[in-house]
Amino acid sequence: MDAERRLELAERFLQEAVYQSRAKQAAGTALHQAALDVQRQCGLGDGPAVVLDLSPAARELVPELFPAGTGPHVAPLLRRWIERQDVLDRERNHFLKAFRQRHGFDRAAYTPALLAEFESGLDRINAQVTAERRAVAAELLA
């Protein structure tokens, strides 16, 4: 398998770890909000939930990514990525909330300049997420 394909699989592996953790985080946030009868700022709760149990999809990637088995670096790296992804997702959510509070929720009503500002902000955040995920994926494979 070529290096680019392995890097793509490593990125998928990292995303699977985030999805597993988000499922737990979503359940915890929903229970917490219901108990307090409040709405949290960005919907992600107070902090990341870190789940290091691999999803079925992530387990399928292990033999391709780590033919000799996973090393001791994998779990700490997954934890670090899950926590960092949580921060990046909060930044995205806070950007969306602030922008919508200033300019409204109806994107169809945005002027071309406002729409460009909105899309540029999202593109910036998404590019940062992609770059950081790719760097961690490369580290995972090192």
Q: Nearest Cα to 137, choosing from 69, 86, 61?
A: 61
Q: Nearest Cα to 62, choosing from 102, 109, 14, 13?
A: 13
Contacts of 65 (CB under 8 A, 6+ apart): 6, 9, 10, 13, 140, 141
Structure tokens at 130: 């992609």
Amino acid at 17: A
Structural domain of 126: 3-141
At 110, the pLDDT band (50, 70, 90 cuts) reads very high
Q: Nearest Cα to 119, choosing from 87, 90, 89, 96?
A: 96
Which residue in this structure is represented by tokens 């994926």?
A: 137
pLDDT digit string (tens) for 26-75? 554 544 455 555 555 555 566 667 878 888 999 999 999 999 888 899 99
Domain count, the chain: 1
Cβ pair 77, 139 in contact under 8 A: yes
Average pLDDT score over the chain: 86
Cβ pair 17, 82 in contact under 8 A: yes
Q: What is the mean pLDDT of residues 122-137?
A: 97
- What's the rounded Cα separation, in Å, for the pair 27 and 62? 27
